[in-house]
Structure 1
Amino acid sequence: MLTGLTFPVIPALGKPLAILAACYMVYTMVRAALALRDSIDERYSHFPSASERPIKSFLQIATIVVYLVALIAVVSLLLERSPVYLLTGLSAITALLIIIFRDSLLGFVASIQLAAYDMLRVGDWIEVPGYVADGIVIDIALNTIKVRNFDNTVVMLPSQLLLTNSVKNWRGMVASGARRLRHAIHFDVDTIRYPDDALLAQLHAAIEQPLVTVEGERRTNLGLYRHYLSGYLRAHPAVRRDMPLVIRHVQSTTAVVALEICVFIDEIRWERYEALLSDMLDHAYGVVPFFGLRCWQRERSVSAPSGR
């Protein structure tokens, strides 16, 4: 292999120096390959699709391949054997290598699947129950996914975990531009009744929105409240009218009646969303006493402050 490399000045050192020179050539080629990798990474980071389809895991795979080829080349030079001879020996201990590098191989396969099926992107908001991960993906590597939680803590998750466990990705919510408000209000069943003339007069005097019956249907005070709340939400400027708005009865395990509000708000920013949610629920609870209703609490049913 090195017969063409001679050092006539120092014949005794000719062969070792030739091997050393060949190893240095391998080292130089590795440095060149890594420089090319860094250049590709830098150029790709400026493309708009870089955040949607990161190539960091693929570059790490390429790095491993470069180091593996360099290692085989150096060992074959030192042993003065053909690389084919070394590869034949490695095939005999393949099972042992698979056991040793099991996690790395599984992470490698998982990262390929995540990238190929566009299951995860940098910037996605994900939740992984049981692993204290609820935040934004900031890095996707070969074996790990780095998530910054909303309390600014950073969680490192194995890539394989996202394929074997249930993961909630909020990307669809962000793309739609709307976030769901879902909340249940529980009422004391003893306060649900048909309204009398005095209650109807009070409602018409206290609430600007007209309360009418549909085709002469007689409503309870809870039905009037549900009808009013539906109109209030449909008229709210932050509510998406192209998405479902549902106020429904839900089954409760206790002796109460529960109404669940399901509506989509035209806001995905956390701070603004929470402010809108609080304002809507404050209003929903605030008008309860006007309908002669009481909200239920676990220990005892407590009358809401009178609206009269």
Structure 2
Amino acid sequence: MENIKSFVYDKLIASGVSTQNAQLLNMLIWLIGSIIIVFIIDYIIRRVLRRIFSGIAKRTKSSFDDILVQNKLPRNIAHIIPVVLFIELIPIIFKDYDAIENPVETAMKVFGIVLILWIVRSLLNSIKDYLKTLPNFKDKPIDSYIQVFMIFAWVIGIFSAFAIITGTGFIKFVTTLGAVSAIIILVFRDTILGFVASIQVSINDMVRIGDWVTFEKYGADGDVIEINLSTVKVQNWDKTITTIPTYALISDSFKNWRGMQASGGRRIKRSVIIKASTIHFLSSEDIRKFKKIELISNYILDKEVEINTHNQSHSIDKSLLINGRNLTNFGVFRKYLETYIKNHSEIKKDMTMMVRQLAPTPQGIPMEIYAFSNDQRWENYEFIIGDIFDHVLASVSYFDLEVYELSAISDFNQQ
């Protein structure tokens, strides 16, 4: 080994070069030669590994090896041997310059750690990309887990680099960090919270990629497009992107519409307010008129027989409509809407359908339609609601009812 180290130096001295210049030229020649050799070896290994991986990728059905090539894993692995070789050559290159040898060797070892981190990152990214191609993992927060592993890898890498720079053993260096652990926790607070939250979100299946969520606190209303360690990205319906802290999913309240999407229907829950002053009992003439409305003609016939039988059996005085049992225009209108909803082609028949009367308000009596459309798409859903309530508002007058409207000043002036 000594003969190799001094080979160029001896040749220069024999050529009449001074000792100082011979040492400098010896170092430069070895440095340039080593760099050239390292680059040649690196190039050859990269080409060989690329051909090997490409050949394997062509012969296998799995896409994992193709993803490894795309994430440059073979290229990063190819750098290992040249880096190790250069570290071994450093004592030869700088044998006469101890002050330079140690810093350069330390720098190359640190670079070796960075290279290992690149390899780990390429491998983890390949695993992430491959899992995302599998149906069972498409809606899972894979990014969060990969980021956790990368954080651990970078922490170990940074600790190792500092241990090398300071000349301290890795274990001893790590144990000295106990005093600053509180600062580390403070710095990585969001990361730690996000990690815990992502685990809970995954275990409890609270949110998946592709879910429609509404998060009023952050102004989010749209589809989840990404879940990672620190944030959840939601693409709103106006195509804007809202970023939400991952830990907010377990600390705040939000709405996930996945259940609605899985059900195949989308809820319709809307009401019209009827003026209380227009509600009244039906007279015989009213009943004859409403019998002409096809959707409720049979209902009125059956009810008329039932009510008359009851009133006659109890000898009810019907000179006043309030006596005994009676139909009201409001009740008949409710039955009409119920029949109309059940016969509507865009209403999902195997889910809840009802028309109900809500508690009176200062404006009037709300009549609410509660049902589910069989089309969940927003534009179609709104069209279905519009179609239903167009009919509702137009049919109110046929039952001698009025919808409450807040009168404008111009209305009073016209009167």
What is the TM-score when the length of structure 1 is the normalising length? Answer: 0.90
Give the equivalent residue in structure 2 for 1:275. 383
| Aligned equivalent of 2:220 | 133
Of 210-219 and 30-39, the range deviating more from structure 2: 210-219
Q: Match for residue 306 of structure 1? A: none
Distance (whole Å) between structure 1 residues aligned to residue 327 and residue 292 of structure 2:
18
Candidates 128, 138, 144, aligned match of 1:51: 138
**How much does 1:24 deviate?**
2.5
Which residue in the other structure is 2:285 paired with?
198
Separation (CA, whole Å) in 2 of partners of 1:267 and 1:70:
53
1:7 aligns with 2:91: yes
Is 1:175 aligned with 2:262? yes
CA spacing shift, 1:289–1:9, aligned 2, 3 Å: closer
2:399 pairs with one of 281, 291, 294: 291
- Give the structure 1 partner of residue 370 of structure 2: 262
Which of 349, 362, 374 is residue 241 of structure 1 equivalent to?
Answer: 349
TM-superposed CA distance for 1:200, in Å, is 2.9
Matched, 1:105 2:189: no
Tell me the alpha carbon deviations over residues 76-122 of structure 1, each in whole angstroms, 9 at most, x when there is no partner. Answer: 11111111122111112112222232222212211221122211111
Runs of 4+ aligned residues of structure 1 deviating over 4 Å after TM superposition are: 206-209
**Consecutive unaligned residues in structure 2, runs of 5 or more:** 1-86, 308-325, 409-415
Deviates more, 1:107-116 or 1:266-275: 107-116
Q: Distance in 1 between matches of 2:118 and 2:363?
A: 73
Are residues 1:121 and 2:175 paired? Answer: no
Which residue matches 2:28? Answer: none
Query: Partner of 2:337 in structure 1?
Result: 229
- Structure 1 residues 18 and 130, CA, compared in 2 at 3 Å: closer, same or farther? closer
Distance 1:255 1:120, change over 3 A: closer
Q: CA shift at 1:209, angstroms?
A: 4.4
CA contact under 8 A between 1:8 and 1:14: conserved in structure 2? Answer: no
Which one has a larger percent helix, Structure 1 or Structure 2? 2
Measure the CA separation in 1 of the matches of 2:155 and 2:248.
27
Q: CA deviation at 1:51?
A: 2.6
Distance 1:182 1:144 in 2: 33
Taking structure 1 as reference, are residues 248 and 206 closer, same or farther at Cα in structure 2, changes over 3 Å only?
A: closer
Among all aligned residue pairs of Structure 1 and Structure 2, give the percentage whose two residues are the same amino acid.
30
What is the TM-score normalised by the length of structure 2? 0.68
Which of 199, 213, 219 is residue 327 of structure 2 equivalent to? 219
CA displacement at 1:205 relative to structure 2? 3.3
Q: CA deviation at 1:179?
A: 0.9
Deviation at 1:64, TM superposition (A): 1.0
The 1-side partners of 2:362 and 2:346 are apart by 33
- Name the CA distance, whole Å, in 2 between partners of 1:186 and 1:259: 6
Which shifted more, 101-110 or 199-208? 199-208
Distance 1:142 1:8 in 2: 46
Judging changes above 3 Å, is the alpha-carbon distance between structure 1 residues 162 and 295 closer, same or farther for their aligned structure 2 residues? same
Question: What is the SS of the residue equivalent to 1:19?
Answer: helix
Report the AA paired with residue 103 of structure 1. Answer: D
Deviation at 1:72, TM superposition (A): 0.9
Instruction: Give the alignment partner of residue 235 of structure 2, picking from 141, 148, 164.
Output: 148
- Whole-angstrom CA distance in 2 between matches of 1:62 and 1:119: 22
- Choose between structure 1 and 2 for higher RCO, CA contacts under 8 A separated by at least 6 residues: 1
Larger radius of gyration: 2
Alpha-carbon RMSD across the aligned residues, in angstroms, is 1.9
1:14: Cα distance to partner? 3.8
Deviation at 1:54, TM superposition (A): 2.8
Q: What's the CA shift for 1:181?
A: 0.6
CA 1:97 to 1:24, structure 2 compared with 1: closer, same or farther past 3 Å?
A: closer
Going from structure 1 to structure 2, the CA distance change for 1:98 and 1:27 (only over 3 Å counts) comes to: closer
- The worse-fitting range, judged by mean Cα deviation, of 220-229 and 96-105 is 96-105
Structure 1: which amino acid aligns with 2:306? G
Cα distance change, pair 250–208 in 1 and its aligned pair in 2 (3 A): closer
Q: What's 1:41 paired with? A: 128
Quick one: which amino acid aligns to residue 91 of structure 2? F
